[in-house]
Amino acid sequence: MRILITGGAGFIGSAVVRLAVARGHEVVNVDAMTYAACEANTGRAAETGRYTLERADIRDRGRLDAIFAEHRPDAVMHLAAESHVDRSIDGPGAFVETNVMGTFHLLEAARGHWIQRGRPEGFRFHHVSTDEVFGSLGATGAFTEDTRYDPRSPYSATKAASDHLVRAWHETYGLPMVLTNCSNNYGPFQFPDKLIPVVILKALAGEAIPVYGAGRNVRDWLHVEDHADALLEVLSEGQDGRSYAIGGENEARNIDLVHTICAILDEERPAWAPHSSLIRFVEDRPGHDARYAIDPARIREELGWRPSISLAEGLRQTVRWYIVNEDWWRPLMTRSGAGERMGMAA
């Protein structure tokens, strides 16, 4: 299969690229190479002869049309997005432009390609989204594919809008599609402006580890390699027009997660004092959702998929990866937002 993947040099996108190429697929990576993208993320995919990088912005319809015409993909996996809640608070315009208008242009380019090829039944537009479109949970319950949308940040609102566009293109134009909403991802190659890499790198540097509020916010953590596996499963086996919620079945409070990472670092890189002594509670972000959790029953029962990496195992792997891959993350620390506190513009 020849798959066009948007955002394939980013964190989740590159995990999909690496796995898809390893499984013998041809991949065309369409990436604007913004602050969170890195060519090294795709590993040795380029050496296989089954990987092509097209430096292009999904808001550029002309370039998209040319890329579709040249590569004639059998499927699209749309992962390109502005994805940081804090950044969306400080600068929501970029999120509207990329997540909403970019998705619109990609849908239209894909629809034109699909029509030009005679509307093949095997074609698939896979839109990759987030559980944040569903809002915030209380102490109990979990999101499912039928949960009402209730986005609370500019980021989640623009992702919700893109979800609605994809469904509308399916219902109105018949464009074959599947949609997935995932929980929080972690693992190797994550840009250091998200919680887990920030904690690891702050602790390694002996700097204060910032924790929002009291750290009681709960997230369901999904290892990025498990996520990539689930996405390829949905692409090939998911039912046309259906959505699938992908969760890690690993709920944890932020403060507990941070303490676990500190304990791992105490073993892997002992310091003069426990790394947890570096924890500092800081002012919470505006509109911080209390809890996310996913019930992955549909993908488990219909496709037989479930995560394979426990949070304890995945965190230890991730900490070790950042320790031994300083040559990857060190140059990124000069990029905008790396290791900084954002999201206070409200």
Structure token pair of residue 63 = 């370039």
Helix residue spans in 96-249 (DSSP H)? 103-116, 154-173, 195-205, 224-237
**Coil, strand, or helix at residue 318?**
helix
Provide the residue type at 334 as one letter.
T
| 158 exposure class (CB count in 10 Å sphere: 0-12, 13-18, 19+) | buried
**Coil, strand, or helix at residue 338?**
coil
Strand partners, 192: none
Catalytic option among 26, 86, 155, 193: 155
Q: Establish whether 47 is a catalytic residue.
A: no
Neighbours of 261 (CB within 10 A): 22
- Contact between residue 276 and residue 263 where contact means Cβ atoms under 8 Å apart: yes
Q: Establish whether 267 is a catalytic residue.
A: no
Parallel, antiparallel, or unpaired: how do β-strands 251-253 and 218-223 relate?
A: antiparallel
Catalytic option among 26, 132, 229, 251: 132
Of 104, 126, 96, 169, residue with least CA distance to 13: 126
Q: Establish whether 186 is a catalytic residue.
A: no
Provide the residue type at 51 as one letter.
Y
Place of tokens 């949070």: 311
* Residue 293 Cα distances to 138, 209, 218, angstroms: 10, 25, 8
**Coil, strand, or helix at residue 102?**
helix
Catalytic option among 57, 82, 131, 193: 131
Neighbours of 110 (CB within 10 A): 24
Catalytic residues: 131-132, 155
